[in-house]
Structure 1
Amino acid sequence: MPITCLLESAFKWLFLGSLVLLAVSYWQKDDLPAPETFDRGRLQAPIQTPTDREPFTVRVRDQEYRIEPKAEYVLDGVVVSYSNADAIKNIWHHKSWKDFLNLRDLCVVWGENVASGVYRDMRFRNDSWTCWASWSDPAVTARFKSNALSNNHLLTDDRSVKAALMSAEPGDQIRFKGVLAEYVNAGNGYARGTSLTREDTGNGACETIYLDEFEVLHKANLSVRRLFGFATWMAVITGIGFLIMLPIAPVRVRRRI
């Protein structure tokens, strides 16, 4: 059998195998770990204290934002879902609002919601404004503490802080520090406020934080995520290899006897 036929066949089966591996690892990489995975001593309620910081301005992509600090804020928690401002579903962040400062929303749990493991019996998802939590087991209603979950609009114009922020994934234990703040785009008047309590719900209950620091303390499902990355590259490389070899390999005709 010509070498080109062997290569075509090898690329094809490797491509199909990498697709299977990709699918399996995709569905497992964002599984939320068990409570004992985390350093629960650090997962207490967020710390909010008065601030003496004066309003300041930052400039991002030719847009100027005025930021008005409201309180110093430190949060340790576990990420359960997120929404990136540059995602296709959030196109109005950039196109309509010209908001290049709010890079990402993270939905985070802490305290009793982590200690009890109730988060593993729930489903979480983010849209451009809100973190949605749902469950099918009625017992979850009594176990879940709404004041131990927050959706955080996270702002930064610092490259290193941005890199750390964008590396966070569901199941990761994180810590960030900054100021709860209101901000406005001086050019178009687009503004966003912030909650100053963990006891509110609904519209306006999200925290808006201008970040000073962001750290991922513990990465969840590290081996599965590495496998997902490997499978992604394997699918790309073997898929390209198969497409290249397909027209090169000679046509194989099955003969009838």
Structure 2
Amino acid sequence: MKKIGLLLFGIIVILIVLVALKSSEKIHPPGILVNEIPQQNNLSQRKTWIRNGFFYKALAEFSLTARVLGKKEYYTGTESIISQYDLALGWGQMSDSKILDDIEITQEFRFYFWKTDQFPIPREDIEKKSANMHIIAANENIEEVLDEIVVGDIIKYSGYLVEVRGPENFNWKSSLTRSDTGNGACEIVWVENIVILF
């Protein structure tokens, strides 16, 4: 009986360690990790498709490499049926640990918030080199990668910025610029390819 108790205790400890490792933040030394800016190609002929009762329209081809500044999972609301995760992402100076050490980043209600006591870079650079993106997994393989992503990961993905329509006049439309802020400024991304680079 004692051996069984010790065995169960050991299993619980291992599980706790594995969960902690999976959810832990990745640390990087100072320096810009992502030099590239997001790439966008607005579509004149916009393809459409239907999934799970929702109508999707591709507005632009979209790809980026970015540092994960925040990851938030959502369980309620129509939006969570479409997009389980929001990723707050940064590139350029907003991928530099030296800069990020002075900025507090949080996510709530499908928004990304930041605050700082002393601006390490101009406000405009913070706003233009980071964004909150609602991620829609195109398939189960994408979902599995999204589950594995932790804050600090450098990721690369491609797909489409989309508009989503559904029952009861539901309408959710992606921003098409990185320079806007506030309500409607988030990108809604149908992700077809994604990889964790490091």
Per-residue CA deviations over 1:76-95 (Å, capped at 9, x if unaligned) read 00001111123xxxx2x2xx
Within the candidate set 68, 76, 98, 2:65 is matched to 76
Conservation of the 8 A alpha-carbon contact between 1:101 and 1:157: no
TM-score for the superposition, normalised by structure 2: 0.81
Q: Which residue of 1 aligns with 2:165?
A: 184
Alpha-carbon shift at residue 200 of structure 1 (Å): 0.9
Distance 1:98 1:150, change over 3 A: closer
Q: Which residue of 1 aligns with 2:39?
A: 47
Distance 2:9 2:74 in 1: 38
Conservation of the 8 A alpha-carbon contact between 2:65 and 2:91: yes
Q: Which residue of 1 aligns with 2:93?
A: 112
Alignment of 1:1-257 (within 5 A): 4=2, 18=13, 29-30=24-25, 32-36=27-31, 40=33, 42-60=34-52, 64-86=53-75, 91=76, 93=77, 97=78, 99-115=80-96, 117-136=98-117, 138-140=118-120, 142=122, 145-185=126-166, 187-218=167-198
Secondary structure in 2 aligned to 1:100?
Answer: helix
Aligned residues: 193
What 5-or-longer segments of structure 1 have no aligned partner? 219-257
Q: Which has the higher helix share?
A: 1
What 5-or-longer segments of structure 2 have no aligned partner? none
One-letter amino acid matched to 2:115? S
One-letter amino acid matched to 1:121? D
One-letter amino acid matched to 2:152? G
Distance 1:206 1:14, change over 3 A: same
Distance 1:99 1:31 in 2: 26
Greater RCO structure (CA 8 Å; 6+ sep): 1
Alpha-carbon shift at residue 132 of structure 1 (Å): 1.0
Alpha-carbon shift at residue 70 of structure 1 (Å): 1.4
Per-residue CA deviations over 1:195-245 (Å, capped at 9, x if unaligned) read 111111111111111112111111xxxxxxxxxxxxxxxxxxxxxxxxxxx
TM-score for the superposition, normalised by structure 1: 0.64
Secondary structure in 2 aligned to 1:121?
Answer: coil
Distance 2:136 2:50 in 1: 11
Per-residue CA deviations over 1:51-73 (Å, capped at 9, x if unaligned) read 2553422323xxx1111211111
Distance 2:161 2:39 in 1: 11
Amino-acid identity (%): 19
Alpha-carbon shift at residue 15 of structure 1 (Å): 9.3
Q: Which has the higher strand share?
A: 2
RMSD: 3.0
